Structure formats: structure tokens, C-alpha cells
Amino acid sequence: MVTSVIFSIVYGKQIKSMDDEYVILAQRGIEGISQACIPGIYWVEYLPFLRYVPSWVPSTTSRQLADKYKPYVLGVRDKPYQEVKDAVDNGTATPSVASGLIEEIRAGHVDENVARNVTSVAYAAGADTTTSAAEYFLLAMAMFPEVQKKAQAELDLVVGPYRLPEYDDVDNIPYIRAIFLETMRWLPVVPFGIPHRVTADDIYEGHHIPKGTNLIPNVWAMLRNSEDYPEPELFKPERFLGEDGKIDVNVRDPTTIAFGFGRRLCPGRHLSANTLTICIASTLHAFDITPGVDTSGRPVKLTTEIVGGLIAMPKDFPCGLKPRSETASRLIREAAAQVDLNH
């Protein structure tokens, strides 16, 4: 779902499965980027001259990583962009970010290298992060079934059984919005954030921070701060609701941390938030989510252990999703048929 939304917006391309050539290419490129961006893991960060050492020299892991993934990263940047460029030339291009940028290039307003980088980064920054958050949501619902039932009751009251939730419903389902906020807080997708470099000497709480210092924001610690979020290990959407049942603006909004800081604040945060919120609402409206059973028929034991590089994902994943009712089954079939029609 996340991949198809991003490819549609950025390239005007309909993705039918995760076996698509461009999706596989992008996933490999992101895999390399995620490994390369783990803060402090490579000596080249401290000794920049190591970038010139050939990859065949033993222990040059950063250079070997770069050589391995460079073709995929360049492919992510160039191949889908070139396809859109050819379609613009042929007059067959679907409206998209890429086609709009190409028109801007031809009008002399945008540099082509910038356009290629912007379109590729849109997928790299948005696909795995939003997907990971969706997986954390499913994990939370299986581990905290009382939250799931409360959310479904709100959806039944506001949306009713005969349609799926829509964006116009979001303001009227505050518990679902609170689940989104708690999903962003509970297990942060990027636990250590993106490193920033100080552009001028600074002082913070009496500590001198010289210009040029690399700072790594501990997003995990911020979003697990018990002063802001009591019992942080629990998944409690109620922490974001006031006595009136609406979102409490006095509680620290976790998205102001989870989406980064300053000029490097995620430019796709609104798209990600909207996509994840409607995913949460639609999934809860149609499905009951349980841990499920393994291949031996034993109940799956779920934990909050995470894996990955820069982007963290849950090690365990619930596999018990069943339609809530026959009416829900019909909604699912109708939604699937609509997707096939659009493709």
C-alpha cells in the first residue's frame, strides 16, 4: 500500500506487486542506505581520507558497502525518472511529481540532478519508514487487544458497518488519531534519528558544543521519557486524550520528534501521517488482529524486539488477521476489486 501510494504520486506509476522491477531496485538501494547511515559505525566518518582507500584492501568495509550498493542507488535515482522523461517526450506521461519537475527543467527553473535526487529520495525516505510504523501498529493491536476493541467501537459508531473510513472521518475519530500518535511514540521507526552537524558554536545546559560537531538525537529516549509519557513501555493511546475525549494539545506531540528536526525535518511527514492514519482506521474497521499461529499450529509469541539499521522494524509480526464480519468481508472484496480496476 505504502509503496503504491508513493510511486503513484512521485512517478505516476501503478505498482501491482512488490515483485515490480523498480520496487526491487529501490528496496536494495534503501538497504544499502540504511546500513550506511547508522551513526558512528564506519571509521571513514572519523578519518575521511579512508574514502580513497581501494575496496580490495582488507577491513575497508565502508568502501565495500559503497561499491556493492552504488549501482542500486543510481538505479533508484535514474531508471524510473528516465521512464517518466521518455513518457513526457511521447506525450503519454501521467501527472506526477517527476513529470512536473521535468516540465520545470525545460522551463529553466530546476536543475535536472536536483530533480532526479528529489524523486528518488521521496521513495527512499517514505516507503520503509511508513511501512515500519504500520507494522508497529499491527504488533501493538495484537499485543494490546483492549485498545483494538475500543478503537473498533469508535469506528462502528462514527463510520458504521457499510463503508470504509474516509479522510473526512478523521476529525470525528479521536481515538484512532491517538493510536496513530502512540504508534509514532511507542517504538520509534528511526530510534537514533538523522545525525546533524552544528553550524556554529553553541552552549546547551552549560556544555560547549563546537562548530562542526556531529549530533545524534536520541529519539528513542525522548519518546520513552516517563516525564512526558508515563509508563512508556505500554501502548496507551489514552495518554493523548483529554477529559473531553479529544486530542489533548498539552501532551507533547511525538511527531515533532519522530519526523526529525530543523531544516532536516521530514518534508513528507504530512503524507506519511495521513497514509498511516487511514491505514489504521481501515484495517481496524475491517479486521480483527491477533498474534496468529505458526506453521506448527502454536500461538505466535510476540515481543517488542526490533531489528534493522537506521530504520528499525519489529522482529516479530502478527499473522492473525480475520474479517470482523461478513459485512467486513464484503468491504474487503469491494476495495480489492477497486484496486484491480484502477490498475
Give the pLDDT confidence of 117-138 residue by residue, as tens digits. Answer: 888 888 777 778 898 999 999 9
More confident residue, 226 or 71: 226
Contacts of 171-174 spanning 24+ positions with Cβ under 8 A: 173/281, 174/241, 174/245, 174/246, 174/247
The whole-angstrom separation of Cα 342 and Cα 296 is 38
Q: What pLDDT digit, counting tens, does each position of 167-182 carry? A: 999 999 999 999 999 9
Q: What is the pLDDT of residues 229-269, one digit of tens each?
A: 999 999 999 999 999 999 999 999 999 999 998 887 888 89
Instruction: Report the distance separating Cα 180 and Cα 235, nearest Å.
Output: 11
Annotated binding site for heme: 266
The Cα 38–Cα 15 span in angstroms is 30
Each domain of the chain, given as residue ranges in start order, spans 2-342
C-alpha cell at 206: 552549560
What percent of the chain has a predicted confidence (pLDDT) above 70? 90
CB contact set of 295 (below 8 Å; sequence gap of 6+): none
pTM of the full structure: 0.86
- Please report, as a single letter, which amino acid is at residue 5: V
pLDDT tens-place string over residues 299-323:
899 999 998 777 889 999 899 999 9
Work out the burial of residue 142: count CB atoms within 10 Å of its CB; fewer than 13 is exposed, 13-18 middle, 19 or more buried.
buried
What pLDDT does 49 receive?
A: 66
CATH class, domain 2-342, is mainly alpha
pLDDT at 287 over 70: yes
